[in-house]
Structure 1
Amino acid sequence: MDGKGNGNVGSAANNPKDNVGSTTKVDPMKAPGGDGSNISREEFEKNPKGYFADLHAAQKDRKKN
């Protein structure tokens, strides 16, 4: 081997990009656009459009008061 990872079976596991999307759906995630709270990844992935609609509606309500 030439030490550059050619033919090295374990070399791909060292690349962080290879782990993208490897979390399970029950894992919590940081709420996008939120206040730093966590939400269920599964619930967010079921209806991301609804999540953002609710988020923006709540932000508008807070500005009115």
Structure 2
Amino acid sequence: MNDHPFTDADFRKSDRSGDYGCVEAAITHHTPNIIGLRDSVHPYQTVLCFSPREWTAFTAGLDEF
């Protein structure tokens, strides 16, 4: 049994990513205060976890690109 908090998560990819590999993000009912981020090309590998504060800082930094 896999009890990883993002096992059954509904990861979503940005609409801007098109058909290319990208990252996907998810929040689950198991971990409402943790945002999971994974590589869409390798979805069964490592999931990075962000607190809401870290996620806000991360996404704010993306606007600079």
TM range (shorter): 0.3 to 0.5
Of Structure 1 and Structure 2, the greater strand share is in: 2
In the superposition, the TM-score normalised over structure 1's length comes to: 0.33
Larger Rg: 1
User: More relative contact order in 1 or in 2 (CA 8 Å, sep 6+)?
Assistant: 2
